[in-house]
């Protein structure tokens, strides 16, 4: 490896390696820990917390995260002055922080608490001047407690830089500065997709996964309920870390034993449903290609995007309505399992369907949001009743005082516990694509193969593109993780700049192994978990979903892959969802109006409609109302979405929607509504575009 000279660190000569972008990185590589709060290796350098200060001879005290190492530097990471400055910085953070530590969800893993102890802080000399504000628990995925926020900005940067969503940002100035969603709304009412990476990166408990532990205990304590669990692939290679085991330790047997000890009646594997997803999604892939070939429209078939990740699906529903027809209609493995469990198990157990409770153990917070969607309810009952993250399960195990490492491994229950290696690798980026290829290779070639592997779709790159020859057919594949990468790819596809046959998308970096419900994830643990899933695949006897004989029997009972019954139970539809919920912004002067309420005109200014001319339409209507002196009679407002983006720009005139609307259409609709309401404006009303429109 290339070196760039040497420097002196705490009296010791150290080599400057090419990858050392800062003094902080160099020090940590040399085994010298420098405390940080706002620094994260996967985010941009922020330098706001000032905890990583070091003394550089000739430069004075500098922040190590933002100072590049140079040959000849003499660096000291510990001096009396630096220790005192760090203590003051942490005291100031504590002074503006909710210090109810015993009841804090992150009490045992809070970075602020750890820093306070390491710096020997026993008293806070500063007074808290911040007023308590309400906790935002509107989201099914994330709870936001602003009183615990220390303004490190990690959540803002991960949401913007890695996920490309920007649901959180800084607002206010001075001591009133805060981090919150747009317009001060709750997370459920803005463009948050529930991925939870903000919570994963938050060093305090200002953002945490929404806990459903108490609801789980309530179900388990109810003697009239039969409670079953499903375990996602990525959970088995991460839960052990909470109990001091190495990253990537496969603890499936201990998880099953722990769940039984907690009172679960049956423990199944989401991998069984992942195998089912492979069968349905591959069938959909080939069906779409055949339909395109038979249509005679020419050109190339459009890419099929995977639908296993609910955060990605929500992102597409909010930002890319034109892409929705290309997203697989398959439900995620979690929801496939819930649907079939509620369909099959009550009869097997001899119970009423309302007495069966399905609990998912997931690495992901977006799964909580997904399970709550009305599309996944039948007769008022959710297919998946509760979703517990890996961390929540760890808390339940701790709360039951179970010695997890000493538990005797137990086996999963059948039939929904039987799986193949193709399903296990779903937890890592590229796993869904590889699992589909293992089936597609046989479908295209017409011959069985022993254990095909496709390592070409594995890797840590944010976007992996490849062409693969399968039985004489060329398949163009893309595997993308991180929603910002996914959005760039989606834009390229819609603009015709990129062409693929199959695109796999995972919201979290590295896939589900780095889900927000997992133990804290570093690059090393991400690699270890991914490697463990591929090792588990290698050790299983079956590696292809089509070889899951238990699953194939269920598929036959459903009438075959792609049957009407399979579509009812295993598929869904994707709809455009508004990014911001709530009232629109009025541009009319109606405060002094009297008499009947004004005629309301709402213009969608969401991204899709904006690009199609909604802003010009809004301004034209405002000018018209003002030029014709209709203030008080007509209220023009900008709103965020009618969830009709594929037909925009969309406006509402008196509650009636107009799609692909032009200004002339809007003014004609306005005239019609005013005539129907017998509104007398005191002069002739003429529906013509105002001057300059």
DSSP string for 624-687: HHHHTT-TTTEEEEEES--S-GGG-S-EEETTEEESS--HHHHHHHHHHHHHHTT---SS----
Are residues 218 and 151 part of one domain?
Answer: no
Look at residue 3 and tell me whether its pLDDT is greater than 80. Answer: no
pLDDT level of residue 691 (50, 70, 90 thresholds): very low
CA 245 from centroid of its chain's CA atoms: 27
* Higher pLDDT among residues 680 and 411, named by residue: 411
| 3-class DSSP state of 540 | coil
Are residues 108 and 146 part of one domain?
Answer: yes
pLDDT level of residue 346 (50, 70, 90 thresholds): very high
Residue 639's CB: how many other CB atoms inside 10 A?
23
Distance, in Å, from the CA atom of 299 to the CA atom of 197, rounded to the nearest integer, reads 39
Q: Looking at residue 688, what is its pLDDT?
A: 46
Residue with tokens 């806070």: 124
Average pLDDT over residues 646-653: 86
Q: Looking at residue 593, what is its pLDDT?
A: 45
pLDDT level of residue 220 (50, 70, 90 thresholds): very high
Are residues 448 and 325 part of one domain?
Answer: yes
Distance, in Å, from the CA atom of 354 to the CA atom of 577, rounded to the nearest integer, reads 30
Q: Looking at residue 686, what is its pLDDT?
A: 44
Total count of domains within the chain: 4
Distance, in Å, from the CA atom of 316 to the CA atom of 638, rounded to the nearest integer, reads 23
pLDDT level of residue 685 (50, 70, 90 thresholds): very low
Are residues 340 and 235 part of one domain?
Answer: yes
Q: How many residues in the chain?
A: 693
Q: Looking at residue 568, what is its pLDDT?
A: 94
DSSP string for 287-314: HHHHHHHHHT--SPPPPEEP---HHHHH
Are residues 533 and 598 part of one domain?
Answer: no
Q: Looking at residue 576, what is its pLDDT?
A: 83
Computed over every residue of the chain, the mean pLDDT equals: 89
Distance, in Å, from the CA atom of 455 to the CA atom of 473, rounded to the nearest integer, reads 18
Average pLDDT over residues 146-173: 92
Are residues 650 and 616 part of one domain?
Answer: yes
b/e map of 21-32 (b: 16 or more CB within 10 Å)? ebbbbbbbeeeb
Closest CA to 41 of 55, 67, 22: 22
Are residues 185 and 236 part of one domain?
Answer: no
Give the sheet arrangement for strand 634-639, strand by strand.
Answer: 585-586, 634-639, 599-604, 651-653, 656-658
Query: Would you give the DSSP letter of residue 158?
Result: I
Average pLDDT over residues 374-387: 94
Look at residue 296 and tell me whether its pLDDT is greater than 80. Answer: no
Peptide bond preceding 649: is omega within 30 degrees of 0, i.e. cis?
yes
Closest CA to 220 of 230, 229, 211: 229
Are residues 406 and 454 part of one domain?
Answer: yes
| Domain annotation covers residue 83 | no
Average pLDDT over residues 399-419: 95
pLDDT level of residue 646 (50, 70, 90 thresholds): confident
The full 3-state SS of 159-183, as one line of letters, equals: HHHHCCCCCCEEECCHHHCEEECHH
| Domain annotation covers residue 681 | no
CA 29 from centroid of its chain's CA atoms: 31
Q: Which of 210, 233, 258 delimits the end of a domain?
A: 210
Closest CA to 432 of 322, 231, 271, 237: 271
Look at residue 595 and tell me whether its pLDDT is greater than 80. Answer: no
| Domain annotation covers residue 669 | yes
pLDDT level of residue 639 (50, 70, 90 thresholds): confident
| Domain annotation covers residue 301 | yes
Q: Looking at residue 132, what is its pLDDT?
A: 87
Average pLDDT over residues 645-663: 87
Distance, in Å, from the CA atom of 228 to the CA atom of 359, rounded to the nearest integer, reads 6
Distance, in Å, from the CA atom of 402 to the CA atom of 412, rounded to the nearest integer, reads 19
Average pLDDT over residues 187-192: 92
| 3-class DSSP state of 440 | helix
Q: What is the CATH number of the domain that holds 165?
A: 3.30.70.20
Average pLDDT over residues 373-396: 95
Q: Looking at residue 536, what is its pLDDT?
A: 94
Look at residue 590 and tell me whether its pLDDT is greater than 60. Answer: no
* Higher pLDDT among residues 435 and 125, named by residue: 435
| Domain annotation covers residue 467 | yes
Residue 130's CB: how many other CB atoms inside 10 A?
15
Closest CA to 207 of 163, 167, 173, 174: 167
| Domain annotation covers residue 8 | yes
pLDDT level of residue 233 (50, 70, 90 thresholds): very high
Closest CA to 389 of 523, 239, 181: 239
**Rounded to 5°, angle at Cα 468 from 465 and 471:** 160
| Domain annotation covers residue 174 | yes
Average pLDDT over residues 379-385: 93
Containing domain of residue 480, as a range?
214-570
Look at residue 315 and tell me whether its pLDDT is greater than 90. Answer: yes
Beta-carbon contacts of 592 under 8 Å, excluding residues fewer than 6 positions away, are 632
Q: Which pLDDT tens digit goes with each residue over 532-580?
A: 999 999 999 999 999 999 999 999 999 999 899 999 999 999 988 776 6
Are residues 365 and 259 part of one domain?
Answer: yes
Q: Looking at residue 683, what is its pLDDT?
A: 42
| Domain annotation covers residue 683 | no
Window from 164-173, 189-198, 586-595 with minimum mean pLDDT: 586-595
Q: What is the CATH number of the domain that holds 360?
A: 3.40.50.1780
CA 553 from centroid of its chain's CA atoms: 34
Average pLDDT over residues 613-628: 88
Distance, in Å, from the CA atom of 613 to the CA atom of 605, rounded to the nearest integer, reads 9
DSSP string for 345-397: HHHHHT--GGGEEEEEEES-SHHHHHHT-GGGEETTEESS-EEEEHHHHHHHH
Distance, in Å, from the CA atom of 574 to the CA atom of 558, rounded to the nearest integer, reads 23
Alpha helices per DSSP H over 137-238: 154-157, 197-201, 213-221
Q: What is the CATH number of the domain that holds 21?
A: 3.10.20.740
Average pLDDT over residues 659-674: 90
Q: Looking at residue 693, what is its pLDDT?
A: 40
Are residues 448 and 358 part of one domain?
Answer: yes
* Higher pLDDT among residues 261 and 639, named by residue: 261
Q: Which of 210, 239, 263 delimits the end of a domain?
A: 210
Look at residue 200 and tell me whether its pLDDT is greater than 70. Answer: yes
Residues 571, 585 contacting (CB under 8 angstroms): no
CA 68 from centroid of its chain's CA atoms: 33
Are residues 253 and 308 part of one domain?
Answer: yes
Q: Looking at residue 95, what is its pLDDT?
A: 81
Q: Looking at residue 692, what is its pLDDT?
A: 44
Window from 11-20, 355-364, 462-471, 605-614 with minimum mean pLDDT: 605-614
* Higher pLDDT among residues 112 and 9, named by residue: 9
Are residues 334 and 411 part of one domain?
Answer: yes
* Higher pLDDT among residues 118 and 54, named by residue: 54
């Amino acid at each position: 490896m290339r070196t760039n000279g040497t420097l002196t660190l705490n009296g010791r000569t150290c080599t400057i390696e090419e990858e050392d972008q800062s003094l902080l990185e160099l020090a940590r590589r040399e085994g010298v820990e420098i405390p940080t709060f706002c620094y994260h290796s996967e985010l941009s350098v922020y330098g706001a917390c000032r905890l990583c200060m070091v003394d550089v001879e000739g430069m004075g005290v500098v922040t190590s995260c933002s100072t590049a190492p140079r040959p000849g530097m003499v660096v000291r990471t510990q001096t009396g002055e630096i220790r005192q400055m760090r203590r003051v910085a942490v005291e100031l953070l504590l002074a503006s922080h909710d210090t109810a530590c015993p009841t804090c969800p992150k009490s045992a893993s809070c970075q602020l608490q750890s820093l306070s102890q390491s710096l020997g802080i026993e008293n806070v000399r500063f007074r808290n001047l911040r007023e308590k504000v309400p906790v935002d628990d509107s989201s099914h995925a994330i709870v936001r407690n602003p009183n615990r926020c220390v303004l490190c900005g990690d959540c803002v940067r991960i949401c913007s830089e890695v996920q490309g969503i920007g649901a959180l940002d800084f607002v206010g100035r001075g001591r009133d500065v805060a981090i919150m969603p747009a317009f001060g709304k709750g997370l459920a009412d803005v463009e948050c997709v529930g991925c939870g990476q903000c919570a994963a990166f938050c060093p305090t408990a200002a953002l945490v996964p929404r806990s459903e532990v108490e609801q789980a205990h309530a179900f388990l304590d109810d003697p009239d309920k039969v409670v079953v669990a499903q375990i996602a692939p990525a959970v088995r290679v991460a839960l052990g870390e909470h109990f001091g085991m190495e990253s990537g330790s496969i603890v499936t047997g201990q998880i099953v034993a722990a769940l039984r000890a907690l009172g679960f009646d049956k423990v199944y594997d989401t991998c069984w449903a992942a195998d089912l997803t492979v069968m349905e999604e591959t069938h959909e892939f080939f069906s779409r290609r055949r339909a395109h070939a038979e249509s005679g429209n020419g050109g190339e078939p459009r890419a099929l995007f995977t639908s296993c990740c609910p955060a990605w699906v929500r992102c597409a529903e909010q930002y890319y309505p034109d892409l929705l027809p290309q997203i697989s209609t398959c439900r995620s493995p979690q929801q496939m399992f819930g649907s079939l469990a509620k369909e099959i198990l009550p009869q097997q157990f001899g119970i009423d369907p309302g007495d069966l409770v399905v609990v998912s153990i997931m690495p992901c917070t977006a799964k909580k949001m997904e399970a709550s969607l009305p599309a996944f309810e039948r007769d008022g009952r959710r297919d998946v009743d509760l979703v517990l993250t890996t961390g929540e399960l760890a808390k339940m195990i701790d709360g039951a005082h179970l010695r997890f490492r000493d538990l005797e491994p137990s086996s999963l229950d059948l039939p929904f516990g039987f799986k193949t290696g193709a399903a296990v690798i779903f937890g890592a980026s590229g796993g869904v694509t590889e699992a589909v290829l293992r089936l597609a290779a046989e479908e295209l070639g017409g011959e069985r193969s022993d254990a095909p592997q496709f390592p070409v779709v594995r890797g840590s790159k944010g976007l992996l593109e490849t062409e693969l020859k399968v039985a004489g057919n060329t398949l163009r594949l893309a595997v993308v993780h991180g929603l910002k990468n996914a959005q760039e790819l989606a834009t390229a596809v819609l603009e015709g700049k990129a062409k693929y046959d199959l695109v796999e998308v995972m919201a979290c970096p590295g896939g589900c192994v780095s889900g927000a419900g997992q133990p804290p994830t570093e690059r090393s643990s991400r690699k270890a978990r991914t490697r463990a899933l591929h090792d588990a695949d290698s050790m299983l006897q079956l590696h292809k979903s089509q070889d899951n004989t238990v699953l194939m029997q269920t598929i036959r009972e459903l009438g075959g892959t792609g049957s009407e019954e399979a579509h009812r139970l295993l598929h869904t539809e994707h709809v455009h969802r508004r990014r911001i919920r709530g009232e629109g912004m009025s541009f009319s002067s109606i405060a002094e109006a009297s008499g009947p309420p004004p005629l309301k005109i709402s213009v969608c200014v969401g991204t899709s409609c904006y690009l199609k001319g909604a802003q010009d339409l809004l301004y034209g209507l405002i000018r018209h109302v003002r030029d014709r002196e209709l203030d008080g009679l007509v209220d023009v407002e900008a709103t965020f979405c009618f969830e009709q983006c594929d037909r925009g720009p969309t406006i509402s005139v008196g509650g009636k929607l107009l799609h692909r609307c032009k200004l002339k259409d809007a003014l004609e609709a306005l005239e019609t509504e005013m005539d129907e309401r017998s509104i007398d404006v005191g002069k002739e009303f003429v529906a013509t575009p105002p001057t300059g429109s």
